[in-house]
Chains A and B, each alone.
Chain A
Amino acid sequence: MPNNKFYGLFTIFLFLLPVFLGFDDYYLYLLNMAFLFAFLALSWSILGYAGQISFGHAAFFGLGAYTSALLSLKAGISPWIALFFGGVMAMLFSSVIGLTCFRLKGPYFSLATLAFVEIPRIITLNSEFTNGPLGLIGIPSFSSITISTITIDFYASRTGTYYVLMILLLVLTIFTHRMMKSRLGFAFSAIREGEETAEVLGVNAFKYKLLALLISAFFTGVCGALYAHIIHYIEPEIVYGLSFSAIPLVMSMFGGMLTVIGPVLGATILYLTNELIFHPISTTAHELMYGLAIVIVILFMPRGIVGWLEERKRIVYDT
């Protein structure tokens, strides 16, 4: 993979990108959503590193979105702070899943996560407080920031949101990278490669799987909250929908599940291809591409794009 210098230059490029695009609203929207999905995919992968496949991240996403939206709408809390509580709420719910379901192995854990999404979804649908199936509208944007004479407004322009999302994604990427190089990351890999072996070596599998789930759920909740304040509108069938469980899985696997850069790359490529090529063809059913992508990955590129690139490089070196 490219070295640190490359990533540094790429970050500078991302900082300047809105200028190159002439602050065009549509392109900024596309990039913002791509960053959001990259954030989601990376959050999902944190659990993936510990070998656990979740089909239920929509639960965390929706809980984060609803918590943050309700706090800012009904209690008047600033979205910047509400965001954090969105993550905490998702983390609390994930601890319920973890404590009850981590004795299930492999596919059985995945099936349980599929069922767990229904709990917050049905409660939200039937609660007066959350406005039931109609959802919440008019969720406030992030409050504007004033630094000396410059005021960054998050409602009128998308440029501010672009930088916030970019920086958050950068922070999460660096955090994840550091984590994978730490004791925690090695524990996750050990559990993934063989839970029994890891246990024998003294790794408390339950504890580390729970940690992976909590971290993953927290960031997914934050991501849901970001979505709520950027889109301004949420409803249960969307934020708890199958899409938000499936899309991070598809994007991470497509990019390369066991790497840090893979999910980010997969999310960006898939989202942009989907929006620019498939969305114009069919506005209702463009998500079928995500279904196709996962089939292709499982059958032909089990290690995703990153794995495929590495293999190609090896072939070049070998010959």
Chain B
Amino acid sequence: MVLTQSLVSGILLGTFYAVIATGFSLIFGVTRVFNLAHGEFVVIGGYIGYWLWKIYGINPFMAIPASMLGLVILGTIFQRILAYTKEPYELNTLVLTFGLSLFLQNSMLALWSGNYRVIVIDSLEKSISLGIVNTSLVRILVFIFSLSSILFLHYLLKKTYFGKAMRATSQDREAAAMTGINIHRIDFLAFSIGVAMTGAAGPLFASINYLYPSVGIKATIIALIVTIFAGVGNIGGILAGGIVLGVGESLTVAILGSQWRELASSAILIALLLMRPRGLFEGKHY
């Protein structure tokens, strides 16, 4: 009973985790930027959703386009900054984005204080019974939205010209450039799609999680875990990784209690890193 319950809520949550991770994974796969400010991006999207709901009463699902737009603008500025980074590129961007995450976190603290906030819409909080397990309407809606956006991204990457070019670039930049792909444009596009996906995750994050300036690290760790689990570049792997993490967390909460959840996810991250000591560019690609 408890097991089924946590299995189902783990799957619902895990699909959302996959959405958090797709943006991160896409950006890392194509441009080799480990964006440690990723979690802060999610939180900023969350605040956009929160304020639109608080001030204008806009439903978080309706706020997604605004959040995506805001994040794309921010991401473009971010990319201009990253363009100046020198070698060693992976390590320098890591330190740089670490600094930017500190900057964004403190900016949010200055603007909106450290209070815990959450979007609560009574009609969406209604409990729903699926056979023997219970969940709320908002979680079901987040699940449906997450699954459809992942499928949409999958279609984009597999069927369109830009998607194919993106996959080619992530496999081998030089070879892709030689076949006539404008890799700088692809970098820009991958980054923009990545942050747009992150923006989409924001308002959803705020409706199922507490929002406060330093919560970003949780989202960053989720994205890291899922990306490392999946390796660079397969959407199916990301979805599976998200679900494994979601179920793992739910089970930890059910068995040990909610205070150990973060410890479980950190332990998973360390274990996954140790399983792939040579980094993520082995095996499959986009």
What residues on A are CB-neighbors of B190 within 8 Å? none
| B152 within 8 A of partner (CB) | no
From residue 87 to 110 of chain B, which have CB atoms closer than 8 A to chain A?
A: 88, 90-92, 94-96, 98-107, 109-110
Stretch in A16-24, A157-165, A201-209, A285-293 with 4+ CB within 8 Å of B: A285-293
The 7 closest A-B pairs by CB, nearest first: A291-B103, A294-B99, A285-B110, A288-B106, A291-B102, A118-B266, A122-B263
CA distance A114 to B263 in the complex (A): 12
B98 and A111 contact, CB distance less than 8 A: no
- Contacts A112-B270, A285-B109, A295-B81 given: A122-B91 contact, CB under 8 Å? no
The proximity string for A residues 52-63 relative to B, scoring 1 for CB distances below 8 Å and 0 otherwise, is: 010100000000
What residues on A are CB-neighbors of B100 within 8 Å? 291, 295
- Contacts A53-B95, A291-B101, A291-B102 given: A118-B279 contact, CB under 8 Å? no
What residues on A are CB-neighbors of B217 within 8 Å? 242
A110 and B94 contact, CB distance less than 8 A: yes
Please name 12 further chain A to chain B contacts, defined as beta carbons within 8 Å, in addition to the given A53-B95, A112-B269, A299-B84, sorted by A numbering: A53-B91, A110-B94, A118-B266, A125-B259, A249-B98, A288-B102, A288-B110, A290-B102, A291-B102, A295-B99, A295-B100, A299-B85
| Chain A CB within 10 A, most for which of B98, B104, B114, B260 | B98
From residue 181 to 231 of chain B, which have CB atoms closer than 8 A to chain A?
A: 214, 217, 221, 224
Number of B residues whose C-beta is below 8 Å from A?
Answer: 46
What residues on B are CB-neighbors of A111 within 8 Å? 34, 94, 224, 269, 273
From residue 84 to 115 of chain A, which have CB atoms closer than 8 A to chain B?
A: 100-101, 103-108, 110-112, 114-115
A291 and B270 contact, CB distance less than 8 A: no
| A305 within 8 A of partner (CB) | no
- Contacts A111-B224, A282-B110, A285-B109 given: A295-B103 contact, CB under 8 Å? yes
CA distance A287 to B214 in the complex (A): 13
Tell me the dominant secondary structure on chain A's binding face.
helix
B-side interface residues toward A, CB under 8 Å?
A: 34, 36, 81, 84-86, 88, 90-92, 94-96, 98-107, 109-110, 113-114, 214, 217, 221, 224, 259-260, 262-263, 265-267, 269-270, 273-274, 276-279
What residues on B are CB-neighbors of A118 within 8 Å? 262-263, 265-266
CA distance A103 to B279 in the complex (A): 11
What are 28 inter-chain pairs, A to B, with CB distance below 8 A? A53-B91, A101-B270, A106-B91, A107-B34, A112-B269, A112-B274, A115-B267, A115-B269, A118-B265, A119-B263, A122-B260, A122-B263, A122-B266, A123-B263, A242-B102, A250-B102, A282-B110, A284-B106, A288-B103, A290-B102, A291-B99, A291-B105, A292-B99, A292-B103, A294-B95, A298-B92, A299-B84, A302-B86
Q: Give the distance to chain B from A116, nearest Cβ to Cβ, in Å.
A: 7
Chain A, Cβ-Cβ closest to B83: A299
| A253 within 8 A of partner (CB) | yes
| Chain B CB within 10 A, most for which of A55, A101, A107, A242 | A107
A285 and B259 contact, CB distance less than 8 A: no
A115 and B81 contact, CB distance less than 8 A: no
B221 and A115 contact, CB distance less than 8 A: yes
CA distance A168 to B81 in the complex (A): 39
B110 and A101 contact, CB distance less than 8 A: no
Q: Give the distance to chain B from A155, nearest Cβ to Cβ, in Å.
A: 31
